[in-house]
Amino acid sequence: MSLLATPKGWPTILLEVAPAVARFGGLRRAIRELGPAGTIAEIAAAGLRGRGGSGYASADKWRAAAAAGQELGPRVSRYVVVNAYGADPSSLTDRTLLAENPSAVVEGAAIAAWAIGAEEAIIAVRAGESAAIAALEAAAADARAAGLLGEAIAGTTRRLEIDIRTVQGAYMLGEETVLIKALEGKRGQPEQRPPHPAEDGLWGAPTVVQNAQTAAAAAWILRHSAAEFRATGTADEPGTILVDVRGPAGGGIAEVPFGTPLADIVALAGGVPTTTKGGTAAKKGPAADAGAGRPIKAVLVGGPSGGILPADHLSTPYTYEALRAAGAHIGSGSVIVADDRACVVDLARVLTRYCADEACGKTIPCRIGTRRLAEMGERLAAGTSRAGDLDLIITLADDITGSALCDHERLATLPLRSGLRYFGPEVEAHLEQGICPAGVCRPIALGRAATTAVAPTSSPATTSPA
């Protein structure tokens, strides 16, 4: 997938390929100038947060892993795992990063390993991504040639190795405890946390799991400075993140600063919002154009377990906090624009079914909860809902969120939840009148097609069947 052109003035951090002279400069600085504690302090000062979905402060993880097992002496094994799996099929952000800037990922992995006292960093890549794997191998070989990997790195007595491992075969491998299981050669089901991997991770050793973009950001911070990093993004969430934007008019990968309004991200994919003034203007008339002349109906933010936000929420800043409050999440960095051809019920149904099918089966909320949720979504779309289904969706979603073992089940409730929250009338039309206003859901829409007999391009929301 192609890189999208971003407006002038947007910084390039994750995709900044260091010039030859400055290559691995961050790692050198960490080793020669800062030392492990100083490196962690620099990351803390930069306010770096994980780019893999949870937005957890990286420095806290590193500190915890560096401190864990200290009583066992200086030679206790620790690991760094860089999560470059990219679980969401509809987001190619991490894969793009590996292709565009492999040395930053390798450098970031090495920096993290240096900081926490690990001798081995594993970069977990999707099997089959042979170009990315080759690029990573080449970058690691360069670092080794520069004396930054191997037995005694950069004049110290420390050993540091980078291992590129391939994993494949399930969506859940993106979740950190599942990824660790896969690296251990086990069935991929999540573990209860705490203990967090920082204390009890790969082979029971303290392990820092960090997304590939987080690693690249860490490398940039040490190449430049924490203060420079803080100049981008918001105060709480500095820096940039890669997004995968898709819309009717096209799409691609872009690096965006945290806090960018969703509208600006959507605009990158060719959807041109007419206004960012506010909700009221946007609500009436064709508020925002999804490209190809159709109005934006909704934006799916966060991948298969993302939230479906209406067009009047396009002013929401792209941050962990704001999206969470809106009922979505950054997740895989996926932003998908739906125009008025899409039906929110159908969209939520497809998403929830995928989440249920990919649920690992370990716990009841995961095995049975997500499945019941998907069935209720399917009943809504099929026009066979039972009395009380809407309440049941909310109650069940609350129960799943409350009792889930891993975040997958929690997040899997978002498509239906956000659908109910923002598109109440559309959902109720399915439930109470048995019609699909967008004319998508077949069993109900068939009746509509028979009564109205219009071309599918007619404005769907205005024609109401008998």
Partner 1 sequence: MSFVPGLGLVKGMSLTLRRFFEPKATVRYPEVPADVSVKFRGRLQLLLDEHGALKCETCFQCAQACPIECIDMGGMDTKGRFHVHWGPPETYGERREESALRRSGRTVPDPSFASFTREDVDPLDEVLDQYDYDPKRMLEILEATQAIYGHLPVAAIKKISQATGAWYAMIYGTASYYGHLHFESPQAEAQVAAMAARRPSESTYLDRLGASLDGTSPSGAAPS
Ligand X SMILES: Cc1cc2nc3c(=O)[nH]c(=O)nc-3n(C[C@H](O)[C@H](O)[C@H](O)COP(=O)(O)O)c2cc1C
Chain residues binding ligand X by CB under 6 A are 50-54, 56, 83, 85-87, 172, 174-176, 209-211, 214, 406-408
Label residue 387 exposed, middle or buried (CB < 10 Å: 0-12, 13-18, 19+): exposed
Q: Within a 13 Å sphere around the CA of 168, how many CA atoms are in the beta-carbon half?
A: 6
66 vs 373, beta carbon nearer ligand FES: 373
R_g (Cα) of the chain, nearest Å: 23
Binding site partner of 409, from partner 1, ligand FES, ligand X, none, Cβ cut-off 5-8 A by kind: ligand FES
31 vs 406, beta carbon nearer ligand X: 406
Within 8 A by CB and 6+ apart from 249, the residues are: 269, 270, 271, 290, 291, 292
Residue 190 in the binding site for ligand FES (CB under 6 A):
yes
Cβ 138 to ligand X, closest distance in Å? 22
Residue 237 in the binding site for ligand FES (CB under 6 A):
no
**CA 159 to CA 117: how far, in whole Å?**
10
32 vs 187, beta carbon nearer partner 1: 187
16 vs 120, beta carbon nearer partner 1: 120
**CA 197 to CA 206: how far, in whole Å?**
6
Q: Which of 244, 409, 417, 444 binds ligand FES (CB under 6 A)?
A: 409
Subset of residues 232 to 291 that bind partner 1, contact rule: CB under 8 A? 248
* Residue that has been written with the tokens 């930053």 in this structure: 104
360 vs 435, beta carbon nearer ligand X: 360
Binding site partner of 405, from ligand X, ligand FES, partner 1, none, Cβ cut-off 5-8 A by kind: ligand FES
Binding site partner of 294, from partner 1, ligand FES, ligand X, none, Cβ cut-off 5-8 A by kind: none
Within 8 A by CB and 6+ apart from 301, the residues are: 262, 307, 309, 323, 328, 329, 330, 331, 334, 335, 336
Binding site partner of 439, from ligand X, partner 1, ligand FES, none, Cβ cut-off 5-8 A by kind: partner 1
209 vs 414, beta carbon nearer ligand X: 209
Subset of residues 2 to 21 that bind partner 1, contact rule: CB under 8 A? none
Subset of residues 369 to 388 that bind partner 1, contact rule: CB under 8 A? 371, 374-375, 378-379, 381-384
Cβ 54 to ligand FES, closest distance in Å? 14
Residue 351 in the binding site for partner 1 (CB under 8 A):
yes
Residue 362 in the binding site for ligand FES (CB under 6 A):
yes
Q: Which of 352, 363, 401, 418 binds ligand FES (CB under 6 A)?
A: 363
Residue 127 in the binding site for partner 1 (CB under 8 A):
yes
Residue 204 in the binding site for partner 1 (CB under 8 A):
no
Residue 173 in the binding site for ligand FES (CB under 6 A):
no
Give the interface size with partner 1 as a residue count (CB under 8 A): 56
Q: Which of 243, 396, 438, 448 binds partner 1 (CB under 8 A)?
A: 438
Residue 406 in the binding site for ligand FES (CB under 6 A):
yes
Cβ 5 to ligand FES, closest distance in Å? 38
Q: x/- contact string, 307-326, with partner 1 (CB under 8 A)?
A: --------------------
Binding site partner of 53, from ligand FES, ligand X, partner 1, none, Cβ cut-off 5-8 A by kind: ligand X
Number of CB atoms found within 10 A of residue 402's CB: 9
158 vs 371, beta carbon nearer partner 1: 371
Q: Convert the chain into a string of H (helix), E (strand) and C (coil).
A: CCECCCCCCCCCCCCCCCCHHHCCHHHHHHHHHHHHHHHHHHHHHHCCECCCCCCCEHHHHHHHHHHCCHHHCCCCCCEEEEEECCCCCCCCHHHHHHHHCHHHHHHHHHHHHHHHCCCEEEEEEECCCHHHHHHHHHHHHHHHHCCCCECCHHHCCCCEEEEEEEECCCHHHHCHHHHHHHHCCCCCCCCCCCCCCCCCCHHHCCEEEEEHHHHHHHHHHHHCCHHHHHCCECCCCECEEEEEEEECCEEEEEEEECCCEHHHHHHHCCCEECCCCCHHHHHCCCCEECCCCCEEEEEEECHHHCEEEEHHHCCCECCHHHHHHHCCCCCCCEEEEEECCCCHHHHHHHHHHHHHHHCCCCCHHHHHHHHHHHHHHHHHHHCCCCCCHHHHHHHHHHHHHHHCCCHHHHHHCHHHHHHHHHCHHHHHHHHHHCCCCCCCCHHHHHHHHHHHCCCCCCCCCCCCCC
303 vs 437, beta carbon nearer ligand FES: 303
Residue 180 in the binding site for ligand FES (CB under 6 A):
no
Q: Which of 359, 376, 397, 435 binds ligand FES (CB under 6 A)?
A: 359
> Which residues of this chain interact with partner 1, rule CB under 8 A?
89-90, 127, 167-171, 182, 184-189, 203, 248, 304, 336, 338-339, 341-343, 346-347, 349-351, 353-354, 356-362, 367, 371, 374-375, 378-379, 381-384, 438-444, 456
> Which residues of this chain interact with ligand FES, rule CB under 6 A?
172, 190, 359-360, 362-363, 366, 405-406, 408-409
